[in-house]
Every structure is written in C-alpha cells, then in structure tokens.
Chains A and B, each alone.
Chain A
Amino acid sequence: MPALIETRDVSKRYGSFNALSGVTLAIAADEFVSIVGHNGAGKTTLVNVLTGLLRPTSGTVTFKGMDVAGVGPVRLARLGMARAFQLVHIFPGLTVRQTLAVAVVSQTGKAFHFLTSLARDAQVQERVEAVARLFGFEQLDLEARSLSQGAKKLLDVASAFALRPEVILLDEPTSGVSTGDKHQIMRVLVDAAKSFGVKAIIQIEHDMDLVSEYSDRVIALHQGQVLADRPPAAFFGDAELVATVVGKRRVRD
C-alpha cells in the first residue's frame, strides 16, 4: 500500500540550529503512530512540517502523493489532514454546536453559502450531532468558554474530527488531563477514528503508558533525527533506547 504521508530527507534549520536533520519516514493507512522524544527533540517541528505550516529547509513532504511543503493549514484541511494543538484552541464565544459547524461547513464546502440558514441545514446539523454524540457532548448550546478544561480539550479534538480528515495529527491530546481521563480520551479518539474513516492518527505523546497501549508504531526523535521507528513492543524492549529517548526515570523494571 502506498504511503499516505511521506517525508524524504527533511531538514529544518533555524540559523545554525538543526531542528530536524535527514528525517525520512512513511506513514501508511490504518496506522496509529506515536512520536516521542525529549523537549527540543524536534517533535513539534516535525508536525509543523507535516501539516504544511513550516516549509522544510531541504527535503520533500508529500501527502497522498502531493507535495505539501508549506501549503498552509487551510489547503491541507481541504486535502484531508486535520490537526489539534497541545494548548487548547477553542472559540470561546461560540457554542459547541457552532464550533463543530465551523469544521462541517468547511468540509462540506459551504463557506460561500451566504444566505441559507445554518440552523436549518439538515446535512450540516446531522454531521455536527454525529460528532457531538461520539465525543459525548450532550448540551450543544453551551458556550465553549463555559466548559471544563477536559471538555475544552475534547471539543478541540472533536472539531478536528468534524473535518472528516483522512489523517489527524494530535499534539499531546491528553496533556493537562487527569490520568483517569486520559484512557477515556484515547478510547474516544480511536473509536471516532474508526467510525469516521480516519485512516491514520499521528500523535505526539509523553505518556509512555498511552504510547505502548494504543500505538502501532513509535517514532523516536532525538536531536532532530529519527533514532528509532518500530512497533511499541520492540521499542519498549530496548531499555537503552527508551532511556535515551524518554529519560531513565521513565524506565520501569
């Protein structure tokens, strides 16, 4: 099967600092990939390059065979790639329904429907309600600012799913969430991906329990380079590798 996302020899330099050097990887359909590494290892730069936000200094990035280096988020959303951020991004004054509708309107290509009623658009409202159900939102007319921190995070991720993307990139989807809720969020994510036909999930994650339990593949970054790219069992089996990538204190005996 051809790769959905491919990078070839991607480097990103800031002055003399190499944020990424020679990163080559391919992500195929039906994969749940976790990117791990220290702060400063290049994880966020990599995701920024993959989502077309940053143009790599050298190398190529393709999504479904198209060159997407630096194309920007709007086009990428249309091509089928969505992203949610580590810091919660919400529309404080919009309701849950409106927030999800923003994504559904983009996805259905209705942004230039000027005079039709959004509330009476059955197609949009059905899709909004489907996403809301999946993510457990019951009160759709609450303003986003009045939600709990966990619900805000979930709404952020839900709005990315509402784009019905083929690939979704999540920057620490569970950061700032209590340990008990983390598994719940991950299960919702995996279920949502299945029922919406999301082909691949790529996440940056620090919690190694979550990495080992949910991912099919672990990509370990260290000083801007891919140190390892293997299934979780093989990754966690290598104590030395784990120690380099996540620090000794994380290694359990």
Chain B
Amino acid sequence: MKLAAVVGLAALAALAAAPLVLEPYPLTLLLQFFAYGLALLGLNLLFGYTGLLSFGQALFVALGAYSAAVCTRKLGWHSFELVLGVAVVTAVVVAVPVGLLCVRYVSIFFGMLTLAFGMLFHSFLFKFYTVTGGDGGMLVERPSLLGMRFSEMDKTTFLTRPFYWYALGLLAVGTVVMWRLVHSPFGVHLSAIRENPRKAEYLGVEVRRLRLIAFVIAGVYAAVGGTLLGIRTGLADPELAYWTHSGNLIFMTVLGGFSSFAGPLVGAAVFIFLQDSLMSVTQYWRLVMGMVLVVIVVLFPRGLVGLAQALRARVIGWRRDARAD
C-alpha cells in the first residue's frame, strides 16, 4: 500500500520533470503513453478485475478522438475541458446501450459482440464521408487548456509543454480514481464476478448491473485517452476504431500483466517504446512484436509486472535464507 504510493509519486515526479531534460520526440511518445495508459486502466477494470475481455475497446478511443475533432473543427469549441466533457458524455451515451447488450454474454461471446460493435463504428466512420471525412479522417485543432490558447507556441512546444503536463495530470487523476475504484466495496464485487459469477449472485452481487457499470467506466477512460491521441496527432482517423487497434490495447495489457493494477500502465509504456525503437531498426517490427507476445504469453502469463513480482519475491527469499545461515 505505502510502496504503491511511493512508486506512484516517484513516477509522477520523474514524468513531470521529463520536458525539462528530454528531446521533443520522446516526449510525444510519452504523450502517447498517457493516452494509452488511460484507455488501458479502463480496459483492465473490465478485463483484469471483472473478467470481461473486450475486443472492441478501440471504439471508445475513436469516439474520444472524433469528439475532439467535431468540437474543435466543426463546432469551434476549443476549450479542452469542454472537449473532455463531450467525449465523456458521448462515451456514456454509446456505452450504456452497447453495454446493455454485451454484458448479457460472457467470455468469447462478449468479446465477439464488442468486436462487432467496434467494426460497425469503423464502417460508419469510413462510409459517412460527409460527416466523418471517411478514410481521410477529421482534423483536430489545438484546444485551449483552462482557457489559455498558447497561440504564441509552435505545435511541438504546445504538445511537449502545457499539453504534456495537462495530459500527465489527467493520467494521474485517472490512476488515483481507478485505484480507489478497485479497492472499494464496488471493486471487491467486480472481482467476485470475475472469479465465479454464479456464486457471486448467491452472495447478493448484482452481476449484470455491475458489469454494465464497469463497461461504461472503461468506455469513459478509453474516450478520454482518445481525445489525447487525437490532439497529439491532430487527426481523428477511422483506423483508431479498427479491430487491430483493439488488439494492440489487449497486447499492451497482456504485456504488462492484467493481474496487477500497474500492469497495463507498464505494458503501454513498454509497448510504445519497443514499437518505436523496432520500427526504426527493421521493417519487420511486427514480426518481432509478435514473438515478444508469444514469449510473454508462454513464459510469463502474468506479464512483465508479474515477472517483476516473482523476481522480487525470490530476492527477498534469498536474503532471508542468507540471514538464516
């Protein structure tokens, strides 16, 4: 408990100081990490805690990015707080009916249904050219942060300074809120659903209702992450909703380890930096990423965080043995 707070604060301080030392390029990668970190915190509430694996989470990421595009480009609403509000409301409005249908099913059926909804949305973005810009996507304009436009800054400075800190703040708040959610009475009911839904019902757990709430929360987190992605690239792209993007989200979760709170965050960071460095080395980076995934699943099913925990336990064991000698 204490350790988690110390690690969290140290990470936050290091990330907050990063713009003072790092070049712009790694900072834009970190921005990507903040966006995916938020989306994955939500996905992990659904998968790691409630036991529902969504293959359509990219739908909500895309919703967030398109919310940002519609607000800034079509409606001329540049306040980022307003953009966030619109993204959250849109995510809830979409997640409630979709969730009502999906949470009636579990395991592969839930996964396939969420995949279907994700692809439905992708087709919508792709085909409704006049509304969404089709395959070209929609431009996202620079928003104002807390009423400040930063118009004197060039794009890179805006992204790597004020917007960077703003995004980091969002991730920090999102992490604290998620930490409280999973350690709350609500959270223990979600874990009971993951472990044994039938037994949970007999202990008075409202399985479907709680699954729906987890689904909506996951959607909101993904949409907030999506607004960050849209602003970072300046574009809301239909590929954001494509199923391979949902696949990437799951890859990151598995890489970091879904059985721990921090796993998805670690997974997102490692994925983004690994992908980036592989892409600069070889055009076969997808192949290498695939092999990494295979190794993780086969050898370390609890992901990188699980591996770290096992190593830590072993080191502590050695020390104890050494002391006993």
Cβ B177 vs Cβ A93 within 8 A: no
Which A-chain residue is minimally distant from B210 (CB atoms)? A111
Complex-state Cα separation, A189 to B194, whole angstroms:
28
Interface size class of A (residues with CB under 8 A): 35 or more
Expressed in whole angstroms, the minimum distance between the Cβ of B247 and any Cβ of chain A is 26
Given contacts A94-B195, A102-B200, contact A115 B206 (CB under 8 A): no
**Residue A72 lies at the interface, judged by CB distance under 8 Å to chain B:** yes
Given contacts A113-B185, A117-B180, A118-B183, contact A163 B191 (CB under 8 A): no
Complex-state Cα separation, A38 to B65, whole angstroms:
63
Cβ A98 vs Cβ B191 within 8 A: yes
Cβ A74 vs Cβ B195 within 8 A: no
Partner pick for A113 among B184, B196, B201, B210, CB 8 A cutoff: B184
CB 8 Å contact bits of A81-111 with B (1 = contact, 0 = none): 0111100011111100011011101110011
Which A-chain residue is minimally distant from B200 (CB atoms)? A102
Cβ A113 vs Cβ B186 within 8 A: yes
CB 8 Å contact bits of A70-84 with B (1 = contact, 0 = none): 001110011000111
Expressed in whole angstroms, the minimum distance between the Cβ of B277 and any Cβ of chain A is 35
Which chain A residues lie closer than 8 Å to B199 at the CB level?
A: 85, 89-91, 156, 159
Expressed in whole angstroms, the minimum distance between the Cβ of A192 and any Cβ of chain B is 16
Cβ A89 vs Cβ B185 within 8 A: no
Complex-state Cα separation, A16 to B180, whole angstroms:
53
Which chain A residues lie closer than 8 Å to B191 at the CB level?
A: 91, 93-94, 98
Partner pick for B188 among A90, A101, A162, CB 8 A cutoff: A101
Cβ B185 vs Cβ A74 within 8 A: no
**Residue A112 lies at the interface, judged by CB distance under 8 Å to chain B:** yes
Cβ B189 vs Cβ A105 within 8 A: yes
CB 8 Å contact bits of A173-210 with B (1 = contact, 0 = none): 00000000000000000000000000000000000000
Give residues 118-175 of A contacting B (CB, 8 Å).
118-119, 121, 124, 156, 159-160, 162-163
Complex-state Cα separation, A91 to B177, whole angstroms:
25
List the 4 shortest-distance A-B pairs measured between CB atoms, nearest first: A106-B204, A91-B195, A77-B204, A89-B199
Beyond the given A117-B184, A163-B203, please list 11 additional residue pairs across the A-B interface where CB-CB is below 8 A. A73-B202, A74-B201, A74-B206, A77-B203, A102-B188, A105-B185, A107-B204, A116-B184, A117-B180, A118-B184, A163-B204
